[in-house]
């Protein structure tokens, strides 16, 4: 194939590209920073022209233009596999719906044809001299989406870092139907989260549980960021990385000499991840870095691939936990906040690693704008709240008041343990509630 001739024959304007979308189509967007920002804006201009175009996105960086352009939902029906801050705002306005996702199963939904895709649109690097477009920091289930789609539209952006992959990290020109060249927007950067005193206290408890040679998975937010900074300042060595999300903290730990990836049982010497989200520092670190490998999520989050590495450590946040040990990390009542993500995958997988630990971290209470405090450890989850982790899966729970292990514990032992790490202002009330629920005598 003459790759440049093939490229030029598929090159078109954004207006022409979104003209390939018809009423009633299912349209998939690339995941996270593979989201086609230019094409999303252009498609939004067709509000009132098309009807019942259904969009699926995952981790949209910002607010989807198609949802804002059509609040009545006549032209576009916007759906998300995992809510971002923008998606939450849209959901509050009733213009965004959540799609439940067991993250490691994502590629299977497409491969098994549980769902269909008419048009797949994604952002990539420019084409290389072999005819490939690299997905950059967003592997996830992108290739499965492409393979299932009737049409594939690529939005080229020169600022997307070229990321080496273990597999399925690129698409060939022969699989592409249309190409647009964007205005090369800069990559979305996460603002550095403010680390609170409580985050710092939790981080100190967690880091004390990590040994040399451990293999890390970190979630998103201030607390994991605090953990990364503490590790970077520690004497921990030969840490490995097998994670769902790669964040700035991993760069800090690597530059401090804490990460070598030398003690891993699989993908030795490699950072393994399925998507990255952070700052320019992270994206520059990943660009053409042969020590980093992006894989599809059915590889990174496959239970046996997590568990095969010794001393695998999962560190994730939660919104609340009840006295039975049920964890919610994705909704507050019926208000959806984020998604299941890979928390269930890594909590289960890391526990089954030799010497592995899975830690769910949360502050003991939360405070509203009026200064009123409520406990995050509750007698039972608020009605309508989604259970992210069933009680049988939960291993360690950490607040600023300590760490408890729920594995093998009876219902009364669980209640007792969780109350012991609740905020002191709520312990007596929780004890009374546990007794009324017949969890304690």
Residue 13: both structure tokens together? 């304007």
Residue 97: both structure tokens together? 């719906």
Beta bridge partners of 179: 11, 154
**Under 8 Å between Cβ of 241 and 276:** no
Q: Is the dihedral of CA 244, 239, 303, 381 positive or negative?
A: negative
**Under 8 Å between Cβ of 173 and 127:** yes
Q: Which of 344, 337, 335, 295 is nearest to 316 (CA)?
A: 344
HEC sequence for 66-124? HHHHCCCCCCEEEEECCCCHHHHHHHHCCCCEECCCCHHHHHHHHHCCCCCEEEEEEEE
Kindly name the residue from 42, 155, 169, 244 that is annotated as catalytic.
244
**Under 8 Å between Cβ of 125 and 134:** yes
**Under 8 Å between Cβ of 56 and 141:** no
Backbone Cα Rg of the chain:
22
42 tagged catalytic: no
Number of residues that this document lists for the chain: 441
Q: Which of 63, 111, 117 is nearest to 87 (CA)?
A: 63
Residue owning tokens 């989807």: 64
**Under 8 Å between Cβ of 120 and 149:** yes
Name the DSSP class of 125: P
d(CA 132, CA 119): 19
**Residue 398: phi, psi to the nearest 5?**
-130, 130
Beta-strand pair 97-98/76-80: parallel
d(CA 84, CA 76): 19
Residue 247: both structure tokens together? 């964040």
d(CA 96, CA 83): 9
Half-sphere exposure of 326 (CA within 13 A, CB side): 14
Q: Is the dihedral of CA 275, 162, 242, 239 positive or negative?
A: negative
List the catalytic residues: 244
């Amino acid at each position: 194939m003459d790759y440049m001739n093939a490229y030029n024959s598929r090159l078109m304007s954004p207006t022409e590209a979104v003209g390939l979308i018809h009423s009633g189509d299912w349209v998939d967007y690339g995941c996270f920073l593979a989201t086609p920002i230019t094409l999303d804006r252009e498609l939004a201009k067709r509000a009132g022209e098309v009807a019942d175009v259904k969009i699926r996105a995952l981790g949209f960086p910002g607010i989807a233009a198609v949802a804002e352009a059509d609040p009545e939902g006549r032209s576009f029906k916007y759906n998300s596999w995992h809510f971002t801050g923008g998606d939450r705002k849209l959901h509050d306005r009733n213009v965004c719906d959540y799609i439940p996702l067991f993250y490691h199963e994502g590629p299977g939904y497409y491969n098994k044809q549980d769902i269909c895709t008419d048009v797949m649109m994604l952002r990539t690097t420019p084409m290389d001299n072999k005819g490939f477009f690299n997905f950059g920091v967003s592997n996830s289930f992108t290739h499965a989406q492409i393979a299932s789609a009737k049409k594939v539209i690529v939005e080229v952006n020169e600022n997307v870092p070229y990321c080496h992959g273990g597999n399925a990290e690129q698409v060939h020109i022969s699989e592409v139907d249309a190409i647009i060249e964007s205005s090369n927007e800069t990559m979305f950067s996460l603002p550095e989260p403010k680390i609170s005193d409580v985050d710092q206290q939790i981080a100190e408890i967690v880091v004390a549980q990590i040994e040399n040679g451990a293999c890390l998975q970190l979630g998103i937010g201030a607390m994991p960021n605090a953990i990364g900074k503490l590790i970077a300042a520690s004497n921990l060595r030969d840490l490995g990385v097998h994670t769902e999300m790669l964040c700035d903290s991993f760069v800090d730990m690597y530059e401090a000499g804490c990460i070598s990836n030398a003690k891993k049982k699989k993908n030795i010497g490699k950072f393994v991840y399925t998507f990255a989200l952070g700052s320019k520092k992270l994206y520059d670190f990943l660009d053409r870095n042969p020590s980093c490998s992006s894989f599809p999520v059915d590889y990174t989050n496959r239970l046996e691939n997590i568990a095969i590495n010794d001393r695998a450590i999962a560190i994730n946040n939660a919104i609340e936990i009840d006295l039975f040990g049920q964890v919610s990390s994705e909704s507050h009542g019926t208000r959806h906040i984020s998604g299941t993500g890979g928390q269930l995958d890594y909590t289960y997988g890391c526990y089954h690693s030799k010497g592995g630990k899975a830690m769910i971290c949360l502050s003991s209470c939360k405070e509203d704008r009026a200064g009123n405090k409520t406990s995050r450890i509750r007698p039972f989850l608020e009605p309508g709240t989604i259970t992210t982790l069933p009680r049988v899966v939960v291993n360690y729970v950490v607040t600023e008041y300590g760490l408890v292990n729920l594995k093998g514990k009876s219902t009364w032992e669980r209640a007792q343990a969780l109350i012991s790490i609740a905020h002191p202002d709520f312990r007596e009330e929780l004890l009374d509630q546990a007794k009324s629920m017949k969890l304690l005598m």
